[in-house]
Amino acid sequence: MNGSWERVCRVEEAVGNRPVGKVIDESGQDPGRVCVVALDDGGYAALLDRCPHRDVALSRGIVKDGTLICPGHFWRFDVTTGERTDLPERGATVYPTRVVDGWVEALLPPTKPRQPMREWLLAQARGRRPAMQEDPATSTGPLSTRVTEVSVMSASERAAGAQRDHVDEVALELDQAELNRVGVRPLTKRPSGLTREQAWSIASARDRLRAERGEVRTGYKLGWTSKAMRRALGIDEPNFGTLWTYMRVDDGILDLGRLIHPKAEPEIAYVADSVLRGAGITADDVVRGGRWAVAIEVVDPRWTAWDFDWLDNTADGSSAAAYVVGAFHSPGVRPETFRLTMEAGAVTREGTGEAAMDSPAEAVAYLVRQLHDREEALQPGMVVLTGGITAPIDLTAGLRVHVSSPELGSCDLRCS
């Protein structure tokens, strides 16, 4: 392979399952974009930092079991060979690597002089294929063939593809906003707007990103379950989001450094002891099928401010960010009668289970019916946060939040 060895990154930069992306030169040509991955055997792999499917940087993805997962549309590549591991389609370009004086170096091919646009257009007009700078490993065939393949797509197919791309791009944007702790502009305030279908699709795409990182779903959270709040804000229905292992605060200490502008609210949590499914499930079925606990939910919208609507909130997974749950009980009284008190600094707020859709059991039943529409069910062990019982409070460093219930016990959250 002709070319030159180029320094890409220090060895200490490439650790764990996070690739490192570097631009080696500013020519804008592909060989100058390199993605380095640390291997389990102590070596390093280097790839062209561009997915062959779309112009998405592979360095924004994650590595799992020797596979690099593109954040754009979740294509999977073997980090050492570049081959796709999920489908037998074109793979990623890989470069030889070596370590010299603590630097990871990659053997990059020489850059080619760019063909002037005028020459390219003239060649197109004469009906012959110009000498385009394509990587043979990632080329999909002659230009004329590719144009023919695109042209046979119907307008509806092209629109559907563009819609999927838009959903995936926004899901990635929200995912990065959460990881980088930087809010983004609400989707409803952008020229492209946001539809109900898009909002739910974006939430699902974000869940796929979490699963690709190895996170495990632990349950669900309901939002907008207070009729009074929905009426005041002109919202017609509740929504829900998903809970994941990284959101669970097992030791009761919340690191505010990983959040944007968090608030906390007291809730009643439910855990399913058996599978709950079906369009006809009732609150009584829920009571018989699980147990209850007090909980503190932390909500943290990935938007620039708390100025968003139901669609934005749905796309953002109902702002789920963190939660603490107490011990689960079967107290033998109706869940709508559960009493909760939240104490946080000088603030004390009280409420009952009736604030959550008239009963936390009805809130869970609503969720199960929604899952049924998506051909899913509430599985045993899954936790459900049934909605805020009182108004939320802002979280600040050093604040201790204590939630207690005569029927369900208590739980605590400390902010650091």
State how far the Cα of 178 lies from the Cα of 264, in Å rounded to an integer: 17
- pLDDT reported for residue 133: 43
Question: In degrees, to the nearest 5, what angle opens at C-alpha 224 toward C-alphas 177 and 356?
Answer: 135
Residue-range domains of the chain with CATH? 4-108 (2.102.10.10), 165-415 (3.90.850.10)
pLDDT tens-digit map of 2-30? 678 999 999 999 888 788 988 876 554 55
Pair of tokens at residue 21:
């992306």
- Over 60: is that where the pLDDT of 282 sits? yes
Distance of CA 46 to the CA centre of its chain: 26
Q: Which region among 69-83, 197-211, 377-391 has the lowest average model confidence (pLDDT)?
A: 69-83
**Residue of 274, 316, 31, 60 lying closest to 185 (CA atoms):** 316
- Over 50: is that where the pLDDT of 153 sits? no
Within 278-359, where are the H helices?
A: 283-288, 310-315
- Over 70: is that where the pLDDT of 112 sits? no
- pLDDT reported for residue 34: 92
Give the pLDDT mean for 67-73: 79
- pLDDT reported for residue 98: 94
State how far the Cα of 172 lies from the Cα of 166, in Å rounded to an integer: 10
State how far the Cα of 377 lies from the Cα of 219, in Å rounded to an integer: 11
The rounded percent of the chain whose pLDDT value lies above 90 is 60
State how far the Cα of 187 lies from the Cα of 105, in Å rounded to an integer: 41
> Which has more confidence, 124 or 376?
376
Q: Give the single-character DSSP code of 248.
A: B
Q: Give the single-character DSSP code of 111.
A: P
pLDDT tens-digit map of 182-229? 999 999 999 989 999 999 999 999 999 888 878 899 999 999 998 877
State how far the Cα of 361 lies from the Cα of 387, in Å rounded to an integer: 11
Q: Which region among 113-117, 294-298, 315-319 has the lowest average model confidence (pLDDT)?
A: 113-117
Give the pLDDT mean for 160-183: 84
In whole numbers, what is the pLDDT of the chain averaged over residues? 85
- Over 70: is that where the pLDDT of 359 sits? yes
- pLDDT reported for residue 32: 73
Pair of tokens at residue 406:
């005569």
- Over 80: is that where the pLDDT of 118 sits? no
CB under 8 A, 24+ apart: contacts of 344-349? 344/264, 344/393, 344/399, 344/400, 344/401, 344/402, 345/399, 345/400, 347/393, 349/266, 349/390, 349/391, 349/393
> Which has more confidence, 152 or 416?
416
